């Protein structure tokens, strides 16, 4: 398994020419999805199978800080002592998250995600699945089942979601709601909504749960929430239980079995009891797809359905191969 990649000397010693400076070579690599700058100046890159150390490249503290500030400013925000943690999306399809000291210990920490313009179809994804699993997932899209896609960070939830939505009928109106826009959907009718962070005075924020409510006035055929993190869960479940079928959402979870626990913790943030969550989630979602990214191998998909357990608690049962 590859654990490091040696950076070319000619590039590592190059002066800053763009906002990305010596990282430009990594950004031009179509296989690189993420680049990370550590507080000590070390650089890691992810080519789809986990972050590996980029040897031969180490950024001085001033240069790392300069890259962070230029990227954040390009996204219309400022990175300084008053705003030491900033997340922006650039028009070129780059998402940047930067943290300054003293929040980041030792130096600036930068995470850069590249959303590649070329969108792969579902059958082009590196998936290790049976024909039965493939048929079940595609059937869910065709029959307007509401899907919850779960998985760990970097497992490929967003990529899978985008590929499935690209298969939706061209007559569908897809409305996507994201904290920071990442979904690239090959579909003729997509409305993309993105949250707005508060300005330096702490005003002007438009949160995810607010956009969920507003999206219902847009007559979506498929309502999509890029990632459930908190209060928006209440509005999403309410929408999905009032006739908005065929939508989707993603959720961070380590395994299929952990999904009910994760939802329960978010329900508390949304002001829902465990019983309310169980009944609404059971009615709202038709299929749970858990994505697992293999280290150096294809991703796998585990399928499940929500069930009501004793005491009105939410549970999930795996869909076995025999049931497909």
The predicted structure's pLDDT at residue 138 = 95
Residues 92 and 174 in one domain: no
The pLDDT of residue 2 is: 54
Going edge to edge, which strands form the sheet with 51-58?
4-6, 51-58, 42-46, 34-37, 109-114, 94-99, 85-90
Same domain? For 186 and 238 the reply is: yes
Peptide bond into 176 cis (omega under 30): no
Domain range for 231 is: 122-323
Domain boundary among 53, 79, 114: 114
pLDDT of residue 9 exceeding 70, the answer is no
Residues 266 and 228 sit within 8 Å (Cβ to Cβ): yes
- Domain end: 114, 148, 182, which one? 114
- Of residues 27 and 13, the one with the higher pLDDT is 27
163, 158, 185: which is closest to 174 by C-alpha? 185
Quick: pLDDT tens for 93-146: 688 899 999 899 988 999 998 876 555 688 888 888 999 999 999 999 999 999
Task: Give the number of other CB atoms < 10 A from CB of residue 33.
Answer: 20
- Domain co-membership, 206 together with 296: yes
Give the tens place of pLDDT for each residue, 268-298. 988 999 999 999 999 999 999 999 987 666 8
The CATH number covering residue 150 comes to 3.40.50.300
Do 173 and 75 fall within a single domain? no
Residues of the chain with pLDDT > 90: what percent? 43
pTM, full prediction: 0.78
Same domain, 204 and 317: yes
Q: Are residues 103 and 147 in the same domain?
A: no
Q: Are residues 173 and 271 in the same domain?
A: yes
Report how many domains make up the chain: 2
Which position has the higher pLDDT, 156 or 172? 172
Confidence of residue 11 (pLDDT cuts 50, 70, 90): very low
The per-residue pLDDT of the chain, averaged, comes to 85
Which of 97, 114, 131 terminates a domain? The answer is 114
Q: How far apart, in whole angstroms, are the C-alpha atoms of residue 53 and residue 238?
A: 44
For residues 166 and 258, membership in a common domain is answered with yes
Residue 86 reports pLDDT greater than 80 = yes
pLDDT digits over 245-271, tens only? 899 999 999 999 999 999 999 999 889
| 140 shares its domain with 95 | no
Is the domain of 94 the same as that of 129? no
Q: Are 171 and 73 part of one and the same domain?
A: no
């Amino acid at each position: 398994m590859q654990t490091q990649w040696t950076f070319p000397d000619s590039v590592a010693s190059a002066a800053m020419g763009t906002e990305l400076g010596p990282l430009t070579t990594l950004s031009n690599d179509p296989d690189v999805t993420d680049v990370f700058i550590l507080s000590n100046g070390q650089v890691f890159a992810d080519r789809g199978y986990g972050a590996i150390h980029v040897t031969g490249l180490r950024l001085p503290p001033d240069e790392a800080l300069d890259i962070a500030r230029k990227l954040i400013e390009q996204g219309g925000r400022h990175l300084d002592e008053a705003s030491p943690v900033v997340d922006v999306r650039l028009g070129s399809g780059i998402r940047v998250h930067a943290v300054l000291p003293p929040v980041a210990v030792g130096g600036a920490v930068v995470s850069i995600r590249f959303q590649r313009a070329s969108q792969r179809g579902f059958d082009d994804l590196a998936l290790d699945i049976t024909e039965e699993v493939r048929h079940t997932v595609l059937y869910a899209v065709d029959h307007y089942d509401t899907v919850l896609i779960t998985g760990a960070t970097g497992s490929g939830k967003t990529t899978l979601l985008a590929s499935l939505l690209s298969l939706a009928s061209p007559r569908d109106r897809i409305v996507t709601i994201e904290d920071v826009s990442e979904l690239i959907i090959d579909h003729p009718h997509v409305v993309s909504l993105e949250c707005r962070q508060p300005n330096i005075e702490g005003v002007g924020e438009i949160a995810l749960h607010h956009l969920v409510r507003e999206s219902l006035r847009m007559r979506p055929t498929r309502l999509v929430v890029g990632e459930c993190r908190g209060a928006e869960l209440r509005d999403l479940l309410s929408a999905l239980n009032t006739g908005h079928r065929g939508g989707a959402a993603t959720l961070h979870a380590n395994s299929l079995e952990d999904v009910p626990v994760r939802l329960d913790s978010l329900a508390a943030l949304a002001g829902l009891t465990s019983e309310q969550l169980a009944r609404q989630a059971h009615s709202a979602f038709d299929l749970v797809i858990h994505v697992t990214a293999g280290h150096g191998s294809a991703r796998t998909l585990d399928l499940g359905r929500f069930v009501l357990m004793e005491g009105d608690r939410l549970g999930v049962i795996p869909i076995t191969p025999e049931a497909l």
